[in-house]
Amino acid sequence: VKVGEVELPAPFSPDRPEFRRAAMKRLRPFATEGDDDSGARRRLARLERNLGRLADEPAAGALTDRLDASLHVLEERGLAEGWTLTARGRPLTAIHNEADLLVVEVMAAGLLEDLSPGMLAALVSSLTFRKRGPGDPSTIRLGGDFPSRFAAILSLASEVAEVESAFGMKPAQPPDPGFAHVIHAWAGGGELEDVLDPDMVGGEFVRNVRLVADLLRQISKVAPDELAGVAEVAGVRLVRGVVAMSAGTPSVDVDPDTGETQ
């Protein structure tokens, strides 16, 4: 194949990264050659840049491989049969989260059942919260049902990560308990100055609360009736004060003694 006087590698396979790298190498001398056709040189330079960008993009085959790996993981975990989701895996259609597979697994295992709205929000926060910056790992600072339920979620996350790794997928980050005590207090009607950790700025607090509220809303759409109802209540309790202001929605009042909305 000819482009002017530049012979491109054969076979002509522009979807393959090795072809694009070889073509770039052959084009480079012509892009700076000192002839009078500056337009040709510019076109060659532009083609070289485009090939460089393509070389950094995953090939179509890599995307297919990832889809196949995802399907194998879902089948291995009993969430799909072929290209069809099982009843256990059907909630995946409504869960939009970095750890969507783990969220559905946690729901299927009953680890979100029979909890108060505040405790449910705390457990869900472990699936959305990611500690920023260096420092020691997050520690559990909430009692009640949280430690045992979180331990079970952590164990389940390890199982899922093992299967994902076996099929060449990059596992999601493990659950993090670092925001649980904060959002539990917030869902119970605590004031911002009382619940906010000293090392967390207001904007980060709002962002994390909204992530939990959003995931609770998604869970409420696909969970069994009882869990769906608790998830809906928990989500409503979270969107108040600065969180409601940031979203431009009406704020609710939560009684700090009873945890009920007013």
Q: Give per-residue pLDDT as tens, 179-205.
A: 999 999 999 999 999 999 988 999 999
**Dihedral sign of CA atoms 242, 243, 246, 252 in order:** negative
> Rounded distance, CA 74 to CA 84, Å?
10
- pLDDT at residue number 11: 64
Which candidate, 79, 69, 138, places its Cα nearest to that of 107? 79
SS3 260: coil
Q: How does strand 84-85 pair with strand 80-81? A: antiparallel
Closest residue by Cα to residue 221 from 103, 138, 109, 114: 103
Rounded distance between C-alpha atoms, residue 46 and residue 31, angstroms: 9
What secondary structure letter does DSSP report for 8? P
Q: Which pLDDT score, from 0 to 100, does residue 151 have? A: 98
pLDDT at 261 (0 to 100): 78
* Polymer length in residues for the chain: 262
* DSSP 8-state assignment for residue 136: S
46: Cα within 13 Å, side-chain hemisphere:
6
Per DSSP, 261 falls in state: B
Instruction: Pick out the chain residues at pLDDT < 70.
Output: 1-61, 63, 257, 262
CA–CA gap between residue 147 and residue 241 (Å, rounded): 28
Which H helix or E strand runs over 3? strand 2-3
CA distances from 5 to 39, 44, 45, 201 (A): 15, 11, 15, 60
Which residues of the chain form CATH 1.10.3380.30? Answer: 65-247
Predicted model pTM? 0.75
Cα 107 to Cα 11: distance, rounded to the nearest angstrom: 50
Cα radius of gyration rounded to whole Å, the chain: 26
Q: Which amino acid is at 72?
A: H
Task: Please enumerate in sequence order all residues whose Cβ is within 8 A of that of 72, keeping only pairs 6 or more positions apart, or say none.
Answer: 167
pLDDT for residue 2: 42
Count CB atoms within 10 A of the CB of residue 175.
24
State the Cα–Cα distance between residues 24 and 227, nearest whole angstrom. Answer: 57
Per-residue tokens: 164: 């994902």
In this structure, are strands 6-7 and 80-81 parallel, antiparallel, or unpaired?
A: unpaired
Q: What integer pLDDT is reported at residue 152 of this predicted model? A: 99
Q: Between 1.10.1470.10, 1.10.3380.30, 1.20.810.10, 3.40.50.1580, what CATH number should domain 65-247 receive?
A: 1.10.3380.30
